[in-house]
Structure 1
Amino acid sequence: MTPPPEPQPDLLALLRSVRATRWFTDDAVTEAEIAAIVEAARWTGSARNRQPWRLLIATDAAVRARLGGLGAYAGHLAAAPVVVALAVDRDLGGADASFDEGRLCQTIVLAAHALGLGSCPATIFPEDNVRAAADLLGVGPPWRVEHAIALGRPAPRPPRVTAVPTGRRAADEFAGPPRPTP
């Protein structure tokens, strides 16, 4: 029997420290950083290895501004120096496409965080906006652009009151009761 892997406290600390970043400095994200994120994303697992996605990288300010207007929660895309839009072929991905897209998004967020970058996913909706995003980024059916991720160097959050709760639930609130030890 193979022994379990050794714990990696640095990696676990990294996972616990990820936060959504919606405010960015004007500092550029380098081509090398973008390439490193793309390389990490390329290795994301997918059901039956179908990889039903393409990454569309937007650095042009006008494109980012237009993407930021394509959903009630997409405004932060306009402020980010880089937007990574996720184009997904739901026919290729089948019933697993949404799950695979979530895995891809999380890989991108974690890779950005490991590089010291901030990120925040955005949902593009309703359907007219999904089509507008695809057109803006130069893809057509079967590709759909329903999500994008803002990337950049984190800036301090502006002072304001937010209705979004902070903190995390305790593990026993969402993981169920402890299991008996065998």
Structure 2
Amino acid sequence: MGSGAGHHAVHLAQAHGALVTGIELSPTQHERAVSAHAGVPDVEFVQADVTEYLAETEPFDAAYAIGSLAFIDPHRSLPALRDGLRPGAPLILSLLHTDLHGRGPSTEVSPREQTILLRDDPPLPTQMWVLAPQLWEDLLTEYGFRVEAVDLFPHPDENVMVIQQLLRARSLPDRPVQAR
């Protein structure tokens, strides 16, 4: 989810034999992925809103997102993921624990105004859900996942205040599967 230029998707297919669908909302990023990795076996790139795409396709065996889920309201993304994953499927999320300005996580499910600095484009104003680990765990549990681990990773450069959190969860096997 949020496959960007597609490098991680290609790695999973080539190094681990996975069949990968990279879902990317940005038309520019999608085009970068398709241009750079056209013809790579077992990798498909789709330009779509992930929540809409998951509602229209067969459930997946696993899902992961590196940073991208912070840009979608969890009350929208987590139900889509629950319904878009097979029971028992793993979900791996890498999310900010501190925002881009070094502010710690929120204890409320509300977005923060952020400005993303892009390499070749002007700064992009956006909203991000930078939530405390316990809040992510509560939300995942509410929407039919069992959280297996939450880890915090400070930036290796002590002068950089950004901290990442890695959440590993699994869709509950005993939940009813939503009809499509």
Q: State the TM-score, normalized to the length of structure 1.
A: 0.24
Indicate the structure with greater strand content. Answer: 2
Q: State the TM-score, normalized to the length of structure 2.
A: 0.24
Indicate the structure with greater helix content. Answer: 1
Higher relative contact order (CA 8 A, sep 6+): 1
Larger Rg: 1
